[in-house]
A = this chain, B = another copy of it.
Amino acid sequence: MTHGGPVASVAVSTVIFTLLPRSDALHLHLPVVRRTRDPFDGAWALPGGWIGADEDLADAARRTLVETTGLRPSYVEQLYTFGRADRSPTGRVVSVIYSALVRSPEAARVAEVHNVRWVPVAEASGLAFDHDEVVAYALWRLRAKVGYAQVAVHLLGETFSLGQLREVHEAVLGRELDPANFRRRVVASGAVEATDEHLTGGRHRPPRLYRAVVPEGAAGPFETTAGPAA
């Protein structure tokens, strides 16, 4: 009946999305890490690691992210927990998967780190463990969430034009959006507020800059949003 006692190792892994320019437009990318030991030695996998003895799960996700890739995400959210008994040949492992977003400038830092590679989401396959499925699920959920929650702002800076925000949505959804309709939808939702600033230096009419509105009483009580990198 009652089992009790430590029976499993608990690990966290994170699917991190960011936007990187590719050919003409921005595309969603995620970092993968080359494994340096069994199982799946040499294969690419999601960054992650074991939880510390006195460490919260989300903290462990952030820490392992920094250790393996150097990235500090602007948004972290729990995705799913995997616990199939046969997941790993080296003993019982329960993996808590997190989903995260990083801003593009932060993403550039990874270039210096060895054994880490950015891959476009469309080409992310052949990963270790069941990470292919995990990525597919995280992507599905991000696309769904972008429709009703303002998660996209975590891929941008403090202020942004609605054109930039639209670019982000287009990259996440993988299709183009009508600028006029997008503007109406976003403004009406109250998720952004206009500033008095305009973005100058562009080649055409300078767009007004907007700022994200704090969500207030959000949906799920357990979403964790990290502050910007210190």
Contacts and interface: CB of A to CB of B under 8 A. Distances in A.
A133 B78 CA distance: 16
Contacts of A1: 49, 67
Contact of A9 (B5, B51, B57, B80): B5
B67 A85 contact: no
A54 interface: yes
Contacts of A221: 133, 136-137, 140
Given A137-B222, A219-B140, A4 B50 contact: yes
A55 B85 contact: yes
A3 B220 contact: no
Tally of this chain's copies: 2
A189 to B, nearest CB: 17
A10 interface: yes
A10 B83 contact: yes
Given A54-B85, A221-B137, A4 B10 contact: no
Interface in A80-103: 80-85, 91-92, 94, 96
A91 B4 CA distance: 11
Interface in A114-143: 133, 136-137, 140-141
Given A57-B83, A85-B54, A9 B9 contact: no
A7 interface: yes
A109 to B, nearest CB: 19
A83 B50 CA distance: 13
Contacts of A55: 85
- 6 tightest A-B CB contacts, nearest first: A3-B50, A57-B83, A6-B6, A81-B81, A54-B85, A8-B10
Given A1-B49, A80-B222, 16 more contacts: A2-B50, A3-B51, A5-B9, A6-B91, A7-B50, A7-B51, A8-B9, A8-B10, A51-B83, A53-B85, A54-B92, A78-B81, A81-B81, A83-B96, A136-B221, A140-B219
6 contacts: A1-B49, A10-B83, A53-B85, A55-B85, A83-B96, A137-B221
Interface of A: 1-10, 49-57, 67, 78, 80-85, 91-92, 94, 96, 133, 136-137, 140-141, 144, 219-222
